[in-house]
Amino acid sequence: MAVETLTFGCRLNTVESEVMRGHAEAGLAQAGLADRDLVIVNTCTVTAEAGRQARKAIRRLARERPGAEIVVTGCGAQVETADYAAMPEVARLVGNDAKGRAETWDAKAWDEKTWTIEGAPSSRARVDDIMAVREAAPTRIAGIAGHTRAFVPVQNGCDHRCTFCVIPFGRGNSRSVAVSDVIDQIAHIVERGGREVVLTGVDLTAYGRDLPAPSSLGRLVRAILARVPGLGRLRLSSIDSIEADDALMEAIADEKRLMPHFHLSLQAGDDLILKRMKRRHARADAIRFCEAVRALRPHAVFGADLIAGFPTETEAQFARSLDLVAACGLTHLHVFPYSARPGTPAARMPPVPGEIVRDRAARLRAAGASALEAHLAGEVGRPHRVLTERGGMGRTEGFTPVRLSPDQPAGVFRDVTIAGHDGRVLIAA
Ligand code: SF4
């Protein structure tokens, strides 16, 4: 019986679930327990809703598959350990560091080994002090089933302490995968037919600072494109624009295989709110970054994470988040209604009433939808090189989805002209 994974949250979790599935299947096979019904739930804790969804899924799993062994891991297991440990449906808890190690999934030793919860002996949990972790283990997977592009984790953890965020307490401090390991991983993917890779992490622009021979995200991008000539496209997952290094700006200027799509962790458009969030950039920095990139790559496409209803946010301050959409020329918004996370400084600040938070999130999403519509309309008639995916879809260099004819094989490049759009995706001629 194959090990099943249920993944919540970010791309890093998606990749880690694939790694865990491989380790767990090997561990069960070695222990002669291949018929064991094992489900790994890889949780997220970024919002209260993420935790609620995971617990709901765990209860449903236990009801529908009474024989299944449910192992809970991820940032929820790391940060809300006691809550998950209190759930009778949960057989085991595995912390964010232990989850990536093969020995954690050595089923033969599961009953023998003494595990620990925050240092205390426990028969069913191994959740170590994530702040003590210093290394980012390289992943070795050829890609993810059904995915045209492969996510390659190059960095983990975060040294910042934004006042609304619990991620550092789930992922630990920033640590980078060695440049040579990243290049090996990407060469491995290209040898197996991979066409596109997305560099992913928690605070991607912090890449390389902790390495014995310090590096940067820009220098990593350069090294990858120089050392893996067979790689068709390289993408970046979310970046903190104020931390974009000079080498990255140079790579944006002259590396055509670095895709002109940038998802920015902006969070708000008002400087006082950004200060209360303990962000490192001001509104003007975000606008300046987008202008600088557009000067280098005129057809660059920008997305952003924005929080609606951060504590103390006034209507006037919110209006500056709304008009940041146009000021930066954003087209793909990820809107987060503010969600108080236990133990964060923002959770102790005077909150904005829930209905106002929801209303502001809806208005931001509406602004995003009309910005996307304008972006799509602007693409009609333009030629595009598209990487095809399953289901007759593909993506432009700017990561905009394109509907193609349904008989297209996945994973090939196609030159198309855009004939129209349906408000959400482009339609090729
Ligand atoms: S940069 Fe801020 S928001 Fe991002 S993971 Fe770090 S603490 Fe959280």
- What is the arithmetic mean of pLDDT over 5-31? 92
- What is the arithmetic mean of pLDDT over 157-179? 96
Distance 39 CA to ligand 1 centre (A): 29
Pairing of strands 330-337, 125-126: unpaired
| Separation CA 148–CA 76 (nearest Å) | 28
Distance 123 CA to ligand 1 centre (A): 33
Give the confidence band of 36 by pLDDT, cuts at 50, 70, 90: confident
Q: Is the pLDDT of residue 241 over 80?
A: yes
Residue with CA closest to ligand 1 atom 2: 162
Half-sphere exposure of 251 (CA within 13 A, CB side): 22
- Ligand 1 in reach of 160 Cβ (< 6 A): yes
Pairing of strands 38-43, 69-74: parallel
Distance 163 CA to ligand 1 centre (A): 9
Residue pLDDT, tens place only, 377-391: 999 999 999 999 988
- Ligand 1 in reach of 157 Cβ (< 6 A): no
- Ligand 1 in reach of 158 Cβ (< 6 A): yes
Q: For every residue of 46-111, which 3-state class applies, written as one string? A: CCHHHHHHHHHHHHHHHHHCCCCEEEEEEHHHHHCHHHHHCCCCCCEEECCCHHHCHHHHCHHHHC
* Secondary structure letter of residue 326 according to DSSP: H
Distance 322 CA to ligand 1 centre (A): 22
Residue with CA closest to ligand 1 atom 5: 167
- Ligand 1 in reach of 168 Cβ (< 6 A): yes
Residue with CA closest to ligand 1 atom 1: 160
Q: Is the pLDDT of residue 120 over 60?
A: no
Q: Is the pLDDT of residue 125 over 60?
A: yes
- Ligand 1 in reach of 220 Cβ (< 6 A): no
- Ligand 1 in reach of 202 Cβ (< 6 A): yes
Distance 20 CA to ligand 1 centre (A): 25
Distance 403 CA to ligand 1 centre (A): 34
So what's the pLDDT on residue 352?
A: 98
Strand (E) or helix (H) holding 287: helix 283-296
Strand (E) or helix (H) holding 251: helix 246-254
- Ligand 1 in reach of 167 Cβ (< 6 A): yes
Q: Which atom of ligand 1 is nearest to the CA of 159?
A: 6
Residue pLDDT, tens place only, 334-362: 999 999 999 999 999 999 999 999 999 99
Q: Is the pLDDT of residue 60 over 90?
A: yes
| Separation CA 68–CA 267 (nearest Å) | 40
Pairing of strands 125-126, 120-122: unpaired
Of residues 220, 327, 346, the one with CA closest to residue 277? 346
- Ligand 1 in reach of 203 Cβ (< 6 A): yes
- Token pair for residue 263? 């998802």
Give the confidence band of 174 by pLDDT, cuts at 50, 70, 90: very high
Cβ atoms within 10 Å, residue 375: 19
Q: Is the pLDDT of residue 107 over 90?
A: no
- Ligand 1 in reach of 166 Cβ (< 6 A): no
- What is the arithmetic mean of pLDDT over 288-311? 98
320 three-state secondary structure: helix
Angle between helices 354-379 and 315-322 (to 10 degrees): 20
Query: What angle is formed at CA 208 by the lines to CA 292 and CA 283, rounded to 5 degrees?
Result: 35
Q: What are the CA-CA distances from residue 197 to residues 17, 45, 86, 150, 325 (Å)? A: 18, 26, 39, 5, 27
Q: Is the pLDDT of residue 221 over 80?
A: yes
Q: Is the pLDDT of residue 121 over 60?
A: no
Mean pLDDT of the chain: 92
Q: Which atom of ligand 1 is nearest to the CA of 171?
A: 5
Give the confidence band of 146 by pLDDT, cuts at 50, 70, 90: low
Round to the nearest angstrom and report the end-to-end CA distance of the chain: 44
Distance 203 CA to ligand 1 centre (A): 7
Give the confidence band of 106 by pLDDT, cuts at 50, 70, 90: confident
In contact, 248 and 217? CB cutoff 8 Å? yes
Which of 12, 165, 200, 204 has most ligand 1 atoms within 8 Å of CB, for mutation?
165
- Ligand 1 in reach of 165 Cβ (< 6 A): yes
| Separation CA 341–CA 48 (nearest Å) | 7
- Ligand 1 in reach of 248 Cβ (< 6 A): no
Q: Which atom of ligand 1 is nearest to the CA of 267?
A: 3
Q: Is the pLDDT of residue 197 over 80?
A: yes
